[in-house]
Amino acid sequence: MTNYLWCDRADASSCGPGDHQVKRRLELSVVVPIFNEEGNLSTLYDRLIKTLDSLDLRSFELIFVDDGSTDGSFRRLRELSMVDGRVRVIKLVRNFGQHAALSAGLERSEGEVVIVMDADLQNAPEDIPRFLAKIREGYDLVSGWRVSRQKLGVMRRLGSLIVNRVMTYTTGVFLHDHGCGYKAITRRVVVEASRYGHLRRFLVPLLLTLSRSVGEVPISDHERQQGRSKYNFLHLVAMTFDFLTAFSMRPFRIVGVGGILGVSLGGMGACVYLLARVFLAMPANNHLLAALILLLFAGLQFTILGLLGEYLVRAYHAAQNLPLYAVEEEIGGFLPVEPSA
């Protein structure tokens, strides 16, 4: 783990090498992916600082990941990093998607606990103490539960329902609100997730599967202050399909189990048919015999398809050694400590 010099002052300009800096482990990191959120950044920063300064924390950092914004988001983030030494900014070369941006932030975080949240102010920074209190009960991951959602259209609500059902089934973790991006994660899970290569494209389900215990906290859900949501029904469905085909092996296992069931039923049916013909003098029934043979061979085909699917998914995971994101620039924050001779 990298050691860092932490600046004791919010004023970044006052912190030079050896001046007001001490080596220590950060207690909290807050990671926020940014995509065209210029209008929300000042308010978000002010509310985060007000909330975190009110807590009894030894140290904290704010990590903003600019995921290829085309507005003035990066310019505003640069200004914040110049006046506050606790602000780090990571600029990606283009838009890689929310989970890739979160991965970039998590892999550079140093906090014993990491909070991830959206920048649209629908997640209230004032709820952070509730996450910290819950994770201190011993949970590896704590997820937000938006008890009363803002008004959603029928199609968007249907998309959220599909995501919830699929995520619960594939991860084996029940949450009331899988779609909530507001979470607290322990350092152990963050470090473990960084080893999973291209599967980090599906960061949230990966974090859930790596967590030994998962909790929820009810949170408020506010109206978006600026801009518009990046997610719609088609986006949610496409993301769910991508997740099912690339992250989870369960669809192939269902096919395989169905095939085994078909082979079993076809084989038992054929045995019963033959015994009835031999010992009970049952008249021949070509239609029944054809159906049993068809069931037997169809089951065999589905069994083979399920096995092939498992092998293909495993080979795909092994071959995906491409970088998940590319960083253009990193500014602000902490100065690495040179290793002693």
**Which residues, listed in sequence order, are joined to residue 216 by a DSSP beta bridge?**
143
Cα angle at 210 between 206 and 215, to 5 degrees?
95
Q: Would you give the DSSP letter of residue 138?
A: T
The single-letter code of the amino acid at 272 is V
Which one, of 186, 164, 167, lies nearest residue 177 by Cα? 164
Query: How would you write the pLDDT of the chain (341 residues) with one tens digit per residue?
Result: 444 444 544 554 445 444 444 445 689 999 999 999 999 999 999 999 999 999 988 899 999 999 999 999 999 999 999 999 999 999 999 998 888 899 999 999 999 999 999 998 988 999 999 999 999 999 999 999 888 766 666 666 666 677 767 777 677 788 888 778 899 999 999 999 988 877 777 788 889 889 999 999 998 876 665 555 555 555 655 565 555 555 555 666 666 667 677 777 777 777 877 787 777 777 777 777 777 777 777 777 777 776 676 667 666 655 666 678 899 999 987 544 333 33
User: What is 4-248+322-336's CATH number?
Assistant: 3.90.550.10
Closest CA to 182 of 212, 153, 222, 236: 222
Distance CA 35, CA 68 (A): 7
Strand partners, 113: 28, 186
Cα Rg for the chain, rounded, in angstroms?
26
**Nearest CA among 112, 174, 169, 165 for reference residue 143:** 174
For residue 322, CA distances in Å to 201, 263, 314, 316 come to 11, 40, 16, 12
**70 near 35, Cβ under 8 Å?**
no
124 vs 32: CA distance, rounded Å: 13
pTM: 0.69
Question: Letter for the amino acid at 302?
Answer: F
